[in-house]
Chain A
């Protein structure tokens, strides 16, 4: 072997060592990601948000469940139901996508809704998967079946509820983009009084409906889901992708201040529906405490 060949051999060795190191590092990260994905498929965390609003005379607690996509925590969701009951909410908000379009059968979700309605007054908006099942899948009964569980299904309408000493108005808005105009979302919001006494909560499945559209109206608290936390969450950067915002979305979870002074809480959801698993992105059950002080 001549000198050039040996030098090439030396460079090849170094390259091989670097390659092995990189492969090992990638394998390690892959292992961690896999463990994270497996964990995200089995458990969830509870995230607590606190909103100050002097319109309530005492603290009001909401529990928000979104994007279950037929996921069950414990047999018949017993673990989830027990957790919600222990959190003692004044009202339960269901932010849509309890079902998955293309997967038949959602009796488990109906049973969950029945159980939740026993815990506290429950309100739901339909997500894109429910809408697709209803309008594309031909399951026209779906909204009615959910309404029969005792959950109040809000499809572009408002409902007032007495929570302790406070009268709270909950508004459910359907549609996104053109659908907001076409299917009555805007008409519903137009009917609301600009001056409202007490707390007003607006529910919509898609969070990006709030900035620039819903925040033109008067309300105190907005809740949404849909983005699954950006599916993959990166340290310091947050979610990786959402269908509406693309890479590194803003409304992938967390609390956001809107232009009308309201707070928007976006849930990362409790399940997932796509092929890409949730990585470094534990599902979450959201608790929102609206405090007087």
Chain B
């Protein structure tokens, strides 16, 4: 009797109740085995999910996002605040990248192009709020995938420095600057009193233009007792009365430290301006002659390409070359008149200087007047800066803003990726186990 027959005869010889009990035990054993397998599988899944979560969390630190918003009116036309064309892709320019690397203290340890390659800039939305598909976006998402692994600098830190670098470039290039308000003593250094006066006049006019630009934006802005309008009035009085008074004093007293040099310079200036005057008058005459020679009958039939106010070309019958000739002639005549006035003034100054005898007390008084006016101008510039700082604090800092896009931990953990990864690894483990079982004929179980 072989082993199989022995097992059958043993089974036949037992009572049904005992057989049923054994079956129940066998089933219970199978169930327990299945439970243990399930627990082991769940444990494995938990461990794998934990490991994958850690990996995802660590990987999320290598990527950072910010939203850049342009917050000024001209941005919707693709322009900078000063009217220049603006391209946000300038963020990846070598100038910005070099600045960012320098800010990170990594000059020489990272290349601008490498950093630029880690940046992705894309519009924050695909359509405007009105639904237009073609529009100029004013918000962008900037992503930095830190493939460089710069020492001690996280992706978030590097991206913040890229934003700072771009902001610095943006403000220095596309917005008005306060450098005109720097009025140091060195600015007024010149060889002669009249030239110093000219420098005072130039600086006063620069300041007046600066304040006038601010007035156009906000004529009511004030800071304490100071306002742009009061400062503009101060500057106007300064130029109209104080500068004019000093000028008259210098000329009436013929004050010059280097009289010969100044006279020679004026003489040269008069000669050059006389040439300019002659050239302008000649140009005006040529244009006038052209108008005279042009046949009136032609103006009705000749079509000429012309540009309209928007820069669009069209063929014009009415606006013939005659208009251009006339405009040019007028312009040149106006220029000639201006140059003539300058020549007359310079001749007047030259005459005064040539005929005056030097008087030390008058020269000393002129020096005092010049110093007082320089100090006054410096005071006005400082007041303008005070008001402008307050104005900048209130209005200017928000041309451009960066907002960090936080990736929440549950998202950074990447539940979908974690689940898929866990299932894939478990499936691979189970497959491996079945293959092992098949190869060992169940002995490995």
Query: Are A10's CB and B152's CB within 8 A?
Result: no
The 10 A-B residue pairs with the shortest CB-CB distance in the complex, in nearest-first order: A21-B43, A86-B105, A10-B32, A87-B105, A17-B39, A54-B393, A236-B409, A14-B39, A45-B152, A13-B36
Q: How far is the CA of A172 from the CA of B404 in the complex (A)?
A: 32
- Contact B32–A18 (Cβ < 8 Å): no
A25 contacts B35, C-beta separation under 8 Å: no
A134 within 8 A of B: no
Contact yes or no, A293 B167, CB < 8 A: yes
Q: A21-B39, A21-B47, A48-B161 are in contact. List 15 more A-B contacts (CB 8 A).
A: A6-B32, A10-B36, A17-B36, A17-B40, A21-B42, A45-B152, A45-B153, A46-B104, A48-B157, A86-B106, A88-B102, A88-B105, A236-B408, A285-B152, A293-B171
- Hey, what's the 0/1 contact readout for A254-293 against B, CB within 8 Å counting as 1? 0000000000000000000000000000000100010111
The residue that A24 contacts in the complex, of B29, B43, B57, B102, with Cβ under 8 A, is: B43
B396 close to A (CB within 8 Å): yes
A6 touches B42 (CB 8 A): no
- Taking CB atoms, residues of chain A closer than 8 Å to B25 are 3, 6
B248: CB under 8 A from chain A?
A: no
- State whether B171 touches A46 (Cβ < 8 A): no
Beta-carbon contacts under 8 Å, A35-85 to B: 43-48, 50, 52, 54-55, 57, 59, 83
A196: Cβ under 8 A from any B Cβ = no
Q: Is the CB of B35 within 8 A of A10?
A: yes
Question: Given A45-B152, A46-B104, are A28 and B392 neighbors across the interface (CB < 8 Å)?
Answer: no
Taken together as a complex, chains A and B put the C-alpha atoms of A83 and B28 apart, in Å, by 68
Contact with A along B87-121 (1 / 0, CB 8 A): 00000000000000011111100000000000000
A6 and B28 contact, CB distance less than 8 A: yes
> In the complex the two chains form, is A46's CB within 8 Å of B32's CB?
no
Q: Please, could you name 8 A-B residue pairs with CB atoms under 8 Å apart, sorted by A?
A: A6-B25, A6-B32, A10-B28, A10-B35, A17-B43, A46-B152, A57-B178, A285-B152
Report if A235 contacts B (CB, 8 A): yes
Q: A residues within 8 A CB of B28?
A: 3, 6-7, 10
Closest chain A residue, CB of each to CB of B150? A46
Q: Is the beta-carbon distance between A28 and B51 smaller than 8 angstroms?
A: yes
CB distance from B226 to the nearest CB of A (A): 14
Most buried by B among A7, A18, A292: A292
Question: Within 8 Å of chain A (Cβ to Cβ): is B54?
Answer: yes
- Mask: chain B, 267-294; 1 = CB below 8 Å from A; 0 = not: 0000000000000000000000000000
Bound CA span A80–B41, Å:
48
CB distance from A253 to the nearest CB of B (A): 14
A136 at the interface (CB under 8 A from B): no
Output the least CB separation between A60 and chain B (Å).
Answer: 13
Is B168 in the interface zone, CB < 8 Å from A? yes
Whether A25 pairs with B389 at a CB distance below 8 angstroms is no
Closest to B179 in A: A57
Chain B 1-59 interface residues, beta-carbon cutoff 8 Å to A: 25, 28-29, 31-32, 35-36, 39-40, 42-44, 46-47, 50-51, 54, 57
B164 within 8 A of A: yes
What is the CA–CA distance of A50 and B156 in the complex, to the nearest angstrom?
13
A46 touches B153 (CB 8 A): yes
Q: Which residues of B contact A293 (CB under 8 A)?
A: 167-168, 171, 392, 396-397, 399
Contact indicator B32/A13 (Cβ below 8 Å) = yes
Q: How far is the CA of A88 from the CA of B210 in the complex (A)?
A: 33
Q: Does A182 contact B (CB under 8 A)?
A: no
CB-CB under 8 A from A45, the residues of chain B are: 152-154, 157
Which B-chain residue is minimally distant from A20 (CB atoms)?
A: B43
Contacts of B160 in A (CB 8 A): 48, 50
Is A55's CB under 8 angstroms from B168's CB? no
**Could you tell me which residues of chain A, from 71 to 115, have a CB within 8 Å of some CB in chain B?**
83, 86-88
- Is there a chain B Cβ closer than 8 Å to A32's Cβ? yes
Q: From residue A240, how far is it (CB to closest CB) to chain B in Å?
A: 16
> Residue of B at shortest CB range from A10?
B32
Please indicate the chain B residues that have their CB under 8 angstroms from the CB of A83 in the complex. 105, 152
Across-interface contacts of A44 in B (CB, < 8 A): 152
- Minimum CB–CB distance from B149 to chain A (whole Å) comes to 12
CB-based contact A52/B397 at 8 Å: yes
CA A127 to CA B24, docked complex, whole Å: 74
Q: Judging by beta carbons under 8 Å apart, are B36 and A32 in contact?
A: no
CB distance from B289 to the nearest CB of A (A): 56
Within the assembled complex, what's the spacing in Å between the Cα atoms of A241 and B221? 49
CB of A9 within 8 A of CB of B152, answer no
Give the CA-CA distance A114 to B285 in the complex, in Å: 77
Distance of A236 Cα from B153 Cα, bound (Å): 20
In the assembly, what is the distance between CA of A87 and CA of B103, in Å?
6
B residues in contact with A47, CB < 8 Å: 157
What 1/0 mask marks residues of chain A from 165 to 191 whose CB sits below 8 Å from any chain B CB?
000000000000000000000000000
Shortest distance from the beta carbon of B168 to any chain A beta carbon, whole Å: 7
Name the residue on A nearest B389 (C-beta): A54
**A248 vs B392: C-alpha distance when bound (angstroms):** 39
Residues facing B in A211-243 (CB within 8 A) are 235-236
Query: What residues of B have a CB within 8 angstroms of the CB of A20 in the complex?
Result: 43
Residues in B with CB closer than 8 Å to A235 are 57, 409
B107 touches A86 (CB 8 A): yes
CB neighbours (8 Å) of A54 from chain B are 389-390, 392-393, 397
B135-180 interface with A by 8 A CB criterion: 152-154, 157, 160-161, 164, 167-168, 171, 178
In angstroms, how far is the closest chain B Cβ from the Cβ of A92?
13
